[in-house]
Structure 1
């Protein structure tokens, strides 16, 4: 391999590391401006002084300018979740890179290892957290302690339904709609048999684990940072999620209350 081919190969390797870091971060719920800044800093740390990246929730375009024609690569992002621990670790690896502590190969292995890790909490832990938080939100919205246990039960049941339908349905809208529908139906059932008092407070507390809080926050932060496409698209996704939750509850209230 001559010198020109070695430089070209190093450029491709830098792009692979940057794109891998960007993929991990955007799939784990990071803000668009944070992803772009991290990719640019990694490229600069490895000697790519002229790099450009364009990040959206569904794709990443990255290019590095050199003496040869500009190298550009596009990757598609089809799955997104919330895993802020991965975002934190990806940031930690990028800081090690900018500090000169990791070679190109070591950085790639570190990001590849991070990508393969699944550190999300177990389904049982998620359900318990959703259930307890539902009861606490119900109290926070000035509900009575009589409804605490019903809210805990309904919140956990609704979250289980949401996870279940999310696994069998390809459209996220329907899983959110059906999850909120189960919440409304269970709340109405408990109040009807005398195990609950205020159906509105139970419903409000129970749907809170489904509310897209991080998505709304990222949408606003991206808009403030000037990333209009990403901000508007995330805001639209959050709006559809809120509409699905509201529609599921509205169906129950329309037919049963």
Structure 2
């Protein structure tokens, strides 16, 4: 233990002022002292930076996303297993999916303002909408490389489970209205169809218009910046129109 603390303070004392600022900002987010800054620098490096290590391998956060995703799934799975002893495999899998959904991970990344740390050659306005969640996963991966699994558990407990995991609320949360609608239509043997009725650009932004038909009748329409988003929005509107029937036991 003494050796670990010696390494921490030795490294911190020899860092540049910029490193010191980064160290302090990280500590505020993590809740503990990082031992090495290198994994965290990688976690905030966008592929547009076009950086490579001495072996020619790309240096960016994408590989850390994979690692962080695995750590998140593991810690959340263990938490649900212990907290819901009556939950079967299907229930536990569905609840874990709600907690680590892309929407929720993006929310976590935004709340911590992780995008402010990104090293990139392109402006943040041009990042994809999932960049917040991607960086959050990469940060968890960096924690694993820096401190190991126990510290991943500490961070996820503090930043994900304690503030966001409310089991009764999550049970009623809908991740995908489209999946819910399709499942209901299949159960009720109702034909459904999504079709694009509009594909154009307004003020330089491309828009897609999608209509959803159920049983041969158009039940909802929606517009969004991607076909997938428009389908989800149309599905959400259809869900509220058929909510009583869908939720009927």
TM-score, reference length from structure 2: 0.28
The structure richer in strand per residue is 2
The structure richer in helix per residue is 1
